[in-house]
Chains A and B, each alone.
Chain A
Amino acid sequence: MSTDASQDTVPPESSANYVGEGGGSLSRRRFLTYVVAAPVLTVAASSVGDLIAHSKAYAVVPSPPQPENILDLGDVMVTATKQAQDLFVLQVTTDNRVVFRVPRAEVGQGITTALAMVVADEIDARLVDVDAPLEDARQDLGTAQSTGGSSSVRSLWDPVRAIAAEARARLVTAAAEQWDLPASSLTTRDTAVWAPDGRSATYGSLTEAAAKVDQPAVSTDPKPSSEYRIIGTSTPRIDARSIVTGTAKYALDVDMPDALPTVVVRPPTIKGKVKTYDASAALKMPGVVAVTELPTGVAVSAKTFDQALKAKSGVNVIWDAGTVDGVSDADIQSRLTAAIPPLAPAPPLTQRVDATFDFAFVNHAPMEVGSAVADVQSESAEIWVASKSPTGAQSAVAEAVGLSTDQVTLHVVRGGGSFGRRIYYEPAVEAALVSQAIKKPVKLMWTRNDDMRHGRVRPRSHHQLRAVYTAGEVVTYEHRASCVELDLGSGTGQALIDAGYVSPTIGSAFFNLSQSCPYNFGVVTESLNEVSYDMPTAAWRSVYSAQARTAEEILVDEIAKALGLDAVAMRKRFLKTAEARAVLDKVASEGNWGRTMSSGTAQGVGLHGEYRSIAACLVEIDCRGEKPRVTKAVMALDVGRQVNPSGLRAQAIGSLIDGISTVLLAGNHLDDGAFTEGSYSDFKYARQADAPLECDVHLVGDSGKPGGCGELCVPAAAGAVANAYARATGNKPRKFPINF
């Protein structure tokens, strides 16, 4: 795609500096919009400036700002985009479709719907006229194409509005020239330009002329928020109908009848290697076409998945040891405990609250198992995979099969859930290797068992917390965490490395950028030490916060008890920001905090701020039955500008279920180098009977720019569930999941 420099326009500056919930002034980020040489109107944007303005984060607090208050991961992800060209491309087709190629993965978070809404609102199109296909991997985008850190809406908000506003101005100008009317007299709505006399012209009919407009005759600035008509309205997913009718296509639904179903015989322990194998029996089995040795196991390709799965039994493999053979949870626990430095002793005349927490490994367990389709030829390759790091996947495939990245076309397809899992792309590499070896297209699928035993996990973690108080004030707060080393992957990890955050490990850099204590607890010390094991870990929704901030929220309840304070009153007294108190007040009032409840049942609250957003959660739990059940949840979120309230609520509800699952039910045991769980029968992720009967999500605040939301609510929900459990049972929860 070439650009016509002569048509560059004055770069619109984003309308306002963002002031987040902590008051930390972020960046002034400018996007240069320009017309791409094409027969129809095609507008692109590049980021041309990215000024990080540090400012005083908190005016009236005794705790100084922590790194996350000033620059968080989302900022790093956004900054990663600044070198890319033609970052974001919007095209108006002659059949009146407004097409925005989404440089992100769609794994259920609703990004295609949210961005289609932003485009439709800004260009004044009907939402049904906007298409939001997923962009193929583009090396020029690099990490700017990565999905993660709840950063997608945050990072795309400015450029998407900029290109849509630019396109609208050019369409208006084209209509004005056709009708010989002043451009300023024209209006836009319903994917058309309208004249004062009632004439209209669809964008599709104007797009060729608009592509030739030299200079827009009306403003190219994005509209003021007072004129939004789609942004901020609850909108069902734009792909809802395809999902409910079963026509939505995931990787293995791609229409490639010649692609051979392929599964992999995997080792008995994590990262075991093939020593020798004999596939002669498999090759005689019905439908089997080929057997291929891979670095990760032995692949069987057959005419149907049934035949491939059955033929696994016909492959006799002698395995070399795995990388953590002999290692079990208890061994890891010892090292995690040893990795934590001694906590500072409490000074004389003070008192303290100590607590130690452990969180088990947790598989991501997305409903769609690892899957990819590959067609590798001698000079080219084509891959279909749901990847959150498509350029990383493209590079890895290219390297694996000995091609250059520009010989590899990688289509990003919709994914059946991710929760961090699809930052990684092992199935794409495996599928490419098999396709190359057997010279046929393949569709490769991990079984659920593969995914549970060889998929990635949230690292097991250990936390030691100490709050020291005197005269009713918390004067020091210390949180020392250790965890199995987290593989942050090619997207976020590379963005952090590029931004210079490498000391002492990427994980600890990430921890510092993602963690901040929302309370005025005097001198706050938080640190993470990672313990290395060669095993497949991955960021799991909310990353370190899912454990670290959950532990902190539990400790806050215990500090409240020590100080003789109510858990909500305690939080309100110590919270740093008005926004935090507002969401807490909302759940307390809507959830009728403090109401009289039967013995064995209780309320609990939790709160978490990150991604320039903040959330509170209140749950009620019933611990009288066979297993605890969260019966009710009330959540309140302040995410700044709301794009799609329905989508925001969906993310909150999903995070709530993650909180319930990881605190009460779901985890993975490591036993002698292998995970014990094999499917949803023993990995006990919440089902309908574990979900609350009532769940209300309140969105408060709707101004400024959007904050992140995808992972926001996990720690608040997990903290609330643990705190409610503690009150209902009188136990102090220390190891999660509780029923493990």
Chain B
Amino acid sequence: MPNYAFTLNGERVTVDAPADMPLLWVLRDLLGVTGPKYGCGVGVCRACTCHVNGQAVQVCTLTAADVVGKKVTTIEGLAPDGGLHPVQQAWIEEDVAQCGFCQPGQIMQAAALLKSKRNPSDADIDQIVNVCRCGTYCRIRKAIKRAASTM
């Protein structure tokens, strides 16, 4: 099997994986990184959302080959040194999470949005299509605005 090298949460990693292995399973089954979740496997629910070179992506629809030489950031690597990213902090302060399963993906999506738009409008936030089956959307919206005000 081919080797693929990329940066994962700030560290260089090399994985020996089939060319078409979804990055989600590379992360979870080969590298033991379990923050990104399987929710649909087809890029629809977005529970696996991570960053590749700072852009929000669904790692269930990418492969290791797609990220060679790139910077992959999962929820575990969003904040350096065990701290909290302002989005994570806002998520706690707004008590957003219920079951929590989709929240790593929601947070990564929100963090990417705030990187591209410092003060996202309601219409911008409406563009987020990550599913939250617990229905925490109202608090997600508040938390994004709270994070925007602190970043």
Which of B29, B32, B125, B129 has a CB less than 8 Å from the CB of A261? B29
A108→B42 contact, CB < 8 A: no
Q: Which of A108, A447, A688 is most buried by chain B, counting CB atoms within 10 A of its CB? A: A688
A306→B34 contact, CB < 8 A: no
A306→B29 contact, CB < 8 A: yes
Which of A249, A306, A447, A695 has a CB less than 8 Å from the CB of B21? A306
User: Which residues 210-242 in A have Cβ within 8 Å of B in the complex?
Assistant: 234-237, 239-241
Cα A304 to Cα B42 in complex, Å, equals 17
Cα A237 to Cα B103 in complex, Å, equals 13
B139→A246 contact, CB < 8 A: no
B137→A686 contact, CB < 8 A: yes
Which residue on A lies nearest to B123, using beta carbons?
Answer: A689
B35→A246 contact, CB < 8 A: yes
Which of B22, B38, B84, B131 has a CB less than 8 Å from the CB of A687? B131
Check if A252 is an interface residue, CB within 8 A of chain B: yes
Check if A110 is an interface residue, CB within 8 A of chain B: yes
Cα A306 to Cα B137 in complex, Å, equals 31
When A244-B91, A304-B30 are in contact, do A689 and B131 touch as well, CB less than 8 Å?
A: no
Check if B133 is an interface residue, CB within 8 A of chain A: yes
Residues of chain B within 8 A (CB-CB) of A686 are 135, 137
When A240-B91, A367-B45 are in contact, do A306 and B18 touch as well, CB less than 8 Å?
A: yes
Check if B98 is an interface residue, CB within 8 A of chain A: yes
Residues of chain A within 8 A (CB-CB) of B137 are 653, 657, 686-688, 690-691
B129→A654 contact, CB < 8 A: no
CB distance from A643 to the nearest CB of B (A): 14
Which stretch (A411-419, A499-507, A552-560, A732-740) binds chain B?
A411-419
Which of B41, B75, B99 has a CB less than 8 Å from the CB of A108? B99
| Contact code string A245-268 (vs B, CB < 8 Å = 1, else 0) | 111111011000100010000000
Which of A304, A369, A419, A657 has a CB less than 8 Å from the CB of B38? A369
Q: Which of A239, A246, A368 is most buried by chain B, counting CB atoms within 10 A of its CB? A: A246
CB distance from A675 to the nearest CB of B (A): 15
B28→A680 contact, CB < 8 A: no
Check if B57 is an interface residue, CB within 8 A of chain A: no
When A305-B25, A369-B39, A688-B125 are in contact, do A695 and B138 touch as well, CB less than 8 Å?
A: yes
When A415-B99, A688-B125 are in contact, do A241 and B92 touch as well, CB less than 8 Å?
A: yes
CB distance from A448 to the nearest CB of B (A): 4
How many A residues have CB within 8 A of the partner chain?
66
Which of B34, B130, B140 has a CB less than 8 Å from the CB of A249? B34
Check if A55 is an interface residue, CB within 8 A of chain B: no
B104→A448 contact, CB < 8 A: no
When A305-B29, A653-B138 are in contact, do A248 and B92 touch as well, CB less than 8 Å?
A: no
Which of A368, A656, A680 has a CB less than 8 Å from the CB of B99? A368
Check if A522 is an interface residue, CB within 8 A of chain B: no
A646→B88 contact, CB < 8 A: no
Q: Which of A245, A247, A685, A686 is most buried by chain B, counting CB atoms within 10 A of its CB? A: A245
Residues of chain B within 8 A (CB-CB) of A261 are 29
CB distance from A246 to the nearest CB of B (A): 3
Which residue on B lies nearest to A110, using beta carbons?
Answer: B98
CB distance from A214 to the nearest CB of B (A): 43
CB distance from A244 to the nearest CB of B (A): 4
Check if A663 is an interface residue, CB within 8 A of chain B: no
CB distance from A106 to the nearest CB of B (A): 8
CB distance from B116 to the nearest CB of A (A): 16
Check if A618 is an interface residue, CB within 8 A of chain B: no
A653→B88 contact, CB < 8 A: no
Check if B128 is an interface residue, CB within 8 A of chain A: yes
User: Which residues 661-711 in A have Cβ within 8 Å of B in the complex?
Assistant: 661, 679-681, 685-693, 695
Residues of chain B within 8 A (CB-CB) of A246 are 34-36, 74-76, 104
Which of A252, A253, A367, A415 has a CB less than 8 Å from the CB of B47? A367
B129→A688 contact, CB < 8 A: yes
Cα A696 to Cα B102 in complex, Å, equals 23
When A367-B37, A368-B37, A416-B37 are in contact, do A244 and B103 touch as well, CB less than 8 Å?
A: yes
Check if B107 is an interface residue, CB within 8 A of chain A: yes
Check if A109 is an interface residue, CB within 8 A of chain B: yes
When A108-B100, A306-B18, A657-B135 are in contact, do A688 and B75 touch as well, CB less than 8 Å?
A: no
User: Which residues 635-650 in A have Cβ within 8 Å of B in the complex?
Assistant: 646-647, 650
User: Which residues 14-55 in B have Cβ within 8 Å of A in the complex?
Assistant: 18, 21-22, 25, 28-30, 32, 34-42, 44-45, 47
A365→B133 contact, CB < 8 A: yes
CB distance from A717 to the nearest CB of B (A): 10
B21→A108 contact, CB < 8 A: no
| Contact code string A357-371 (vs B, CB < 8 Å = 1, else 0) | 000000001111100
CB distance from A611 to the nearest CB of B (A): 18
Cα A247 to Cα B107 in complex, Å, equals 14
Residues of chain A within 8 A (CB-CB) of B140 are 688
Which residue on A lies nearest to B75, using beta carbons?
Answer: A246
B42→A681 contact, CB < 8 A: yes
Cα A245 to Cα B18 in complex, Å, equals 29
CB distance from A414 to the nearest CB of B (A): 8
When A286-B18, A685-B133, A688-B129 are in contact, do A107 and B99 touch as well, CB less than 8 Å?
A: yes
Check if A336 is an interface residue, CB within 8 A of chain B: no
| Contact code string A283-321 (vs B, CB < 8 Å = 1, else 0) | 000100000000000000001111001000000000000
Check if A445 is an interface residue, CB within 8 A of chain B: yes
CB distance from B1 to the nearest CB of A (A): 8
Cα A129 to Cα B42 in complex, Å, equals 41
Which of B34, B39, B95 has a CB less than 8 Å from the CB of A237? B95
When A306-B21, A656-B135, A657-B137 are in contact, do A243 and B103 touch as well, CB less than 8 Å?
A: yes
A368→B101 contact, CB < 8 A: yes
User: Which residues 480-501 in A have Cβ within 8 Å of B in the complex?
Assistant: none
Cα A236 to Cα B141 in complex, Å, equals 17
Residues of chain B within 8 A (CB-CB) of A689 are 126-127, 129
Cα A243 to Cα B34 in complex, Å, equals 12
Residues of chain A within 8 A (CB-CB) of B133 are 365-367, 417, 419, 685
Which of B21, B84, B128, B136 has a CB less than 8 Å from the CB of A304? B21
Check if B132 is an interface residue, CB within 8 A of chain A: yes
CB distance from A714 to the nearest CB of B (A): 10
CB distance from B94 to the nearest CB of A (A): 8
Residues of chain A within 8 A (CB-CB) of B47 are 367
Which of B132, B135, B139, B141 has a CB less than 8 Å from the CB of A693? B141
Cα A447 to Cα B79 in complex, Å, equals 31
Cα A246 to Cα B104 in complex, Å, equals 6
CB distance from B49 to the nearest CB of A (A): 11
A445→B38 contact, CB < 8 A: yes
When A367-B45, A417-B134, A646-B95 are in contact, do A688 and B141 touch as well, CB less than 8 Å?
A: yes
Which of A235, A416, A647, A691 has a CB less than 8 Å from the CB of B141? A691
Cα A415 to Cα B134 in complex, Å, equals 12
A109→B98 contact, CB < 8 A: yes
Cα A625 to Cα B91 in complex, Å, equals 31
Which of A245, A367, A655 has a CB less than 8 Å from the CB of B132? A367
B99→A650 contact, CB < 8 A: no
Closest 4 CB pairs of A and B: A246-B35, A657-B135, A108-B99, A416-B101
Known A306-B18, A679-B45, A689-B129; further 6 A-B contacts with Cβ < 8 A: A236-B93, A239-B97, A243-B91, A244-B97, A366-B101, A367-B37
* A residues in contact (CB < 8 Å) with B: 107-110, 234-237, 239-241, 243-250, 252-253, 257, 261, 286, 303-306, 309, 365-369, 414-419, 445, 447-448, 646-647, 650, 653-658, 661, 679-681, 685-693, 695
* B residues in contact (CB < 8 Å) with A: 18, 21-22, 25, 28-30, 32, 34-42, 44-45, 47, 74-76, 79, 84, 88, 91-93, 95, 97-104, 107, 122, 125-141
7 inter-chain pairs at a CB distance below 8 angstroms, sorted by A residue, are A236-B95, A246-B74, A306-B21, A369-B38, A680-B45, A687-B131, A695-B138
